[in-house]
Amino acid sequence: MVKGPGLYSDIGKRARDLLYRDYQSDHKFTLTTYTANGVAITSTGTKKGELFLADVSTKLTNKNITTDVKVDTNSNLFTTITVDEPAPGLKAIFSFRVPDQRSGKVELQYLHEYAGISTSLGLTANPIVNFSGVFGNSTLALGTDLSFDTASGNFTKCNAGLSFTNDDLIASVNVNDKLDILNASYYHIVSPLTNTAVGAELSHSFSSNENTLNIGTQHALDPLTSVKARVNNYGKASALIQHEWRPKSIVTISGEVDTSAIEKSAKLGLALVLKP
């Protein structure tokens, strides 16, 4: 694996994972089984209020080619074909959705010791072209993320980011939404032995002059159980506990309460992942 600046999506990812990953207010169940020839079949059901959503996906890996096919309750068929390392540092991804005839897309990712580049092209007569590039090394990286609509001749996305990574600290700054939103994030490992870390993200909107601050932490109670908590400047506090009760089978219980309106009911979420 190439150790370098990574892709643009990696800028600020550790802080985002700490603050937002695994938090939910829905009830979700995931079951993965494996056939004799190595095909992974994953069934997922999610209850959102009175609405129930479900999908079934299969994943087949043959040498360096991985094929993912997913069907959901809305009769949508999602297909992704990934070719890993057709050339050193290169990954090719082809995806499409049926019945959406305009969803076809080809993406190329290239990772180098001093660069990470991703470009994608929609398979339509007037496609949307995406390009992101990060340059630097594993310590300091500077990148941009652009989307251009060839039909209208306009840029639909224009983002830029800067990341600094140390042994126990990651700091990043992003300017998103056509330079309207400024995001600054911070991730710090307090104790590697207990996977204890703290993180924060500050977002500022230039158009509305609004600020949003999220602060969070995580800690491993034991090798199989971890807890996370976060709070924002609007008074919303969330917490979760996650336990791996058998290898790769995880149960997560999460909750959120609005401290500024304590009379409202707390939101509770449950996620169960089974991999026999």
Asked if the structure places residue 173 within a domain, the reply is yes
> Which domain CATH number covers 163?
2.40.160.10
Asked if the structure places residue 155 within a domain, the reply is yes
**How far apart (Å, rounded) are the C-alpha atoms in residues 158 and 108?**
19
Asked if the structure places residue 3 within a domain, the reply is no
**How far apart (Å, rounded) are the C-alpha atoms in residues 32 and 82?**
20
Asked if the structure places residue 180 within a domain, the reply is yes
pLDDT at 264: 80
As given in the structure block, the two tokens for residue 191 are 């104790």
Q: Is the pLDDT of residue 263 over 80?
A: no
Contact 149, 124 (CB under 8 A): no
Asked if the structure places residue 176 within a domain, the reply is yes
Asked if the structure places residue 257 within a domain, the reply is yes
Asked if the structure places residue 146 within a domain, the reply is yes
The structural domain count of the chain equals 1
pLDDT at 2: 59
Q: Is the pLDDT of residue 1 over 60?
A: no
As given in the structure block, the two tokens for residue 27 are 């009830």
The parent domain of residue 267 ranges over 8-274
Asked if the structure places residue 212 within a domain, the reply is yes
3-state secondary structure of 173: strand
**How far apart (Å, rounded) are the C-alpha atoms in residues 156 and 150?**
10
Model confidence pLDDT, tens digit, residues 33-77: 999 888 999 999 999 988 999 999 999 999 999 999 999 998 899
Contact 185, 200 (CB under 8 A): yes
As given in the structure block, the two tokens for residue 106 are 């080809």
Distances (CA, A) of 217 to 127, 167, 186, 199: 42, 18, 11, 6
**How far apart (Å, rounded) are the C-alpha atoms in residues 110 and 93?**
12
Mean pLDDT of 177-191: 95
Model confidence pLDDT, tens digit, residues 236-260: 999 999 999 999 999 999 999 998 8
